[in-house]
Amino acid sequence: MMAVTLWCSVGKVTAQTPIVSFPHTEALNEGSYEYSFTLAVPSVVKVSQTGGSGGFVSAEIFSASGDFSNEIVSEALEGIFFGECLLSIYTDKSITLRVDVTPTTTETMTFPYNKKLTLPAFGDKWFKFTLTKETYLTGSILDNEVYLESYIFSSSGAILSLYFLDYENITLPSGVYYLKIRNSQEQSVAVDLAINAIDLSAIPSYTAINYTTALAKNTDVSGTLKTTDLGKYLEQWMEDGVPRTETGVALFKGYTLSVTAGKQYKFSYNTDYDDIRVYILKNGTLTGIMQEDVKFNTYYSFISDATENLRVLVLSWDIAKNIDYTLQVTENNAPVATMQLNDLFAAATTLNYTSLPGSWSVNFTSATPTVKMTLEREQTISWVTPATAYKMIIPSPNTGINFRIFPKVNGAAGLIYLKTGSSYEFVGEAGIGMTPSAGEYYLLLVNIPDVPPTGFDFRMWRDTDKEPGATPLKELLDATTSAVSLPYSTTGNISGGAFVPELYWADLTKVKAWKVRLAAESELYIRSNMVVVLYQSDGFGGYDEVGYYWGWDGSLDFDEWNTLPAGDYYVVAGFDDSYYDGYGDFWLKIGKNIDDVLSVKGVSIDAAYKVYTQANTIYASGVEVGLPYRLSDISGKTIASGITNSEALSLDVSQKGLYILSIGTQRQKALVR
């Protein structure tokens, strides 16, 4: 009997022929057939056939709880399904089809639930629970290095939550529900599972937040979000000119802050928890979001243009524990002298093309001008920050002039503006390089406030030149002559790596290469916390790409390319510079079987939100709430953007291909096949 991997496929299914009772047997001639059936409880569905020996028979089942497809010439297929299901059959011979259904074992869950959960590789566990009142459920796995898929279903099989254990807390009315937890890894896992239920019937209805406590300036203000402060909050604000109403269940506290026109203010806060947010509202408009684990948002600095009261909201969706925090607002009575952005551009240094190719290094110092600017991207950001600018006149037509900018730390931004008439239009960020069309461009290099002074390296070259500081892929691989012995394991720092222009699509500013020689056809497994691209010698002095993956969660990959013919292969790996600043500590394991790469001891695997795809939908789980997000295709075109309002995000795309999902300061890639 074949065990089958199940994946989520959300949507209402339809079919031509209903199956109303089981077991169902039917004689089929050559052709395609579709059946529908509804399972009142999670059940094991087994599909088998007789008479098809020597032919081709395939079966697919789709539902909100899973799907599978495979040949069933001599073996039965089985999986666990629930709710409305669609069975699709194709056969090129006459067969007798049989479908058996047996209710699966479900554990009755009561709350609070705190138990050790053990799941085999690709194994499922189903739970059933009953709520007698409106209830707020919170769930978590007490192991940051284990990822389990989790789904909550209604009693009719409708899917209600795709990411429950990724801190997607959920409010449910009274009723009967099912929870499915799935281990999608190739090894068994044992984790501590904690799920709590909070009765919401005793909590007042959603009410506006009461901002009564005055926030002191120039001193630390200590506070605690207590579990007894749990409430249903409601807040309304303007965001990018659009009214927005925010509601939820959380721990929260509101402050009022008086500001004076002409004075400079800097907000900051400190906490031992990474699940706290601070919202700043000015005249009913959201103007700042701070959260502990994202460097871009741990501050908010501005010069007030009016004497007024601001609202400051401290909030956490982790309602199971008390959360201590410290707020600080610094008021500067003598603000630093600032320039307007237009004045900075007017004084910009014009780059001289006669010396191309060329490279420059810009270091910010105390003498660097401070600029007051408001940048409207996915989220409006107000900065009072050191900055410098360079002017580029791109001729018409562009004579093959290219440029690329590298911030020296992940606390700086290289922004590109195009002058249109007397105004300046923000047209993009220079990170992976670009070949601009004709026009008058300005490179604005800014230091993020509260980050130590930094700077940039940037380079310009023509199409006929070699990019300064770059190593072409062929040059890198030609120089990688010694093959490593398998199994192979290494750790280190990527700072001494090379920049390879051909890998710009992965934002890799530093990479290293390793050669692997397979004397005969063999499986090859690779595990790393880096972006990995696998190349093969083409036999003519060049190299073909075999595959790639983004491995910074430590997951196994290259499953589609595991069995490789004999030959020389090259593992090229590095970090996405948006997350690791391009200079991170790495680990890499290469082997001919899974056991060679499963164990990574003494290595800290950085946690981040996870991305996966299903059909033409891109899903992200473990997302921080209140962050700007942007989904773009490989050309940089924006497909979708906004502000995250839950720990889960799903985005539909119209075409298959490679996409880049940016959330806050982090980026991940998603391949829609």
Q: 235, 626 in Cβ contact below 8 A?
A: no
Per-residue pLDDT of 42-67, as tens digits, reads 999 999 888 867 677 888 887 866 65
Closest by CA position to 121, among listed 188, 57, 72: 188
pLDDT band at 150 (very low <50, low <70, confident <90, very high): confident
Q: What's residue 457's pLDDT?
A: 75
The average pLDDT across 542-561 equals 59
- H or E segment at 343? helix 341-346
Question: Would the CA dihedral through 159, 162, 166, 170 be positive or negative?
Answer: negative
Q: Which comes out higher in pLDDT, residue 84 or 673?
A: 84
The average pLDDT across 374-391 equals 62
Per-residue pLDDT of 242-290, as tens digits, reads 777 777 778 888 899 999 887 878 787 777 766 678 888 877 777 766 6
Task: Please work out, in degrees rounded to the nearest 5, the angle formed at the alpha carbon of residue 527 by the alpha carbons of 525 and 530.
Answer: 135
Measured in degrees and rounded to the nearest 5, phi and psi for residue 595 equal: -60, -25
Per-residue pLDDT of 160-211, as tens digits, reads 887 778 656 788 889 999 999 988 776 788 888 888 888 877 777 777 778 8
Q: What's residue 7's pLDDT?
A: 30
Q: 548, 533 in Cβ contact below 8 A?
A: yes
Task: Please work out, in degrees rounded to the nearest 5, the angle formed at the alpha carbon of residue 475 by the alpha carbons of 469 and 480.
Answer: 115
3-state DSSP call for residue 421?
Answer: coil
The average pLDDT across 118-137 equals 89
Q: Which comes out higher in pLDDT, residue 408 or 528?
A: 528
Q: Are strands 543-550 and 339-340 parallel, antiparallel or unpaired?
A: unpaired
Q: 468, 570 in Cβ contact below 8 A?
A: no
Q: Kindly tell me if the per-residue pLDDT of 563 is higher than 80.
A: no
- Percent of the chain at pLDDT above 90? 14
Per-residue pLDDT of 568-604, as tens digits, reads 999 999 876 544 444 567 888 888 876 677 654 333 3
Residue with tokens 């400051």: 312
Give pTM, 2 decimals.
0.49
Residue with tokens 């009410």: 207
Q: What's residue 50's pLDDT?
A: 86
Q: What's residue 126's pLDDT?
A: 94
What are the distances in angstroms from CA 94 to CA 73, 77, 385?
12, 19, 75
The average pLDDT across 282-308 equals 64
Beta bridge partners of 195: 113, 139
Q: 23, 78 in Cβ contact below 8 A?
A: no
Spatial CB neighbours of 496, under 8 Å, sequence gap ≥ 6? 510, 512
Spatial CB neighbours of 238, under 8 Å, sequence gap ≥ 6? 244, 284, 285, 286
Residue 82 CA to residue 84 CA, distance in Å, equals 7
Q: Kindly tell me if the per-residue pLDDT of 297 is higher than 50.
A: no
Q: Which comes out higher in pLDDT, residue 17 or 3?
A: 17
Residue with tokens 């551009």: 345
In the chain, the domains with their CATH numbers are 2-103 (2.60.120.1300), 107-199 (2.60.120.380), 207-332 (2.60.120.380), 339-462 (2.60.120.380), 473-598 (2.60.120.510), 610-672 (2.60.40.10)
Q: What's residue 274's pLDDT?
A: 60
Per-residue pLDDT of 309-328, as tens digits, reads 988 888 887 776 788 888 88
Q: What's residue 11's pLDDT?
A: 33
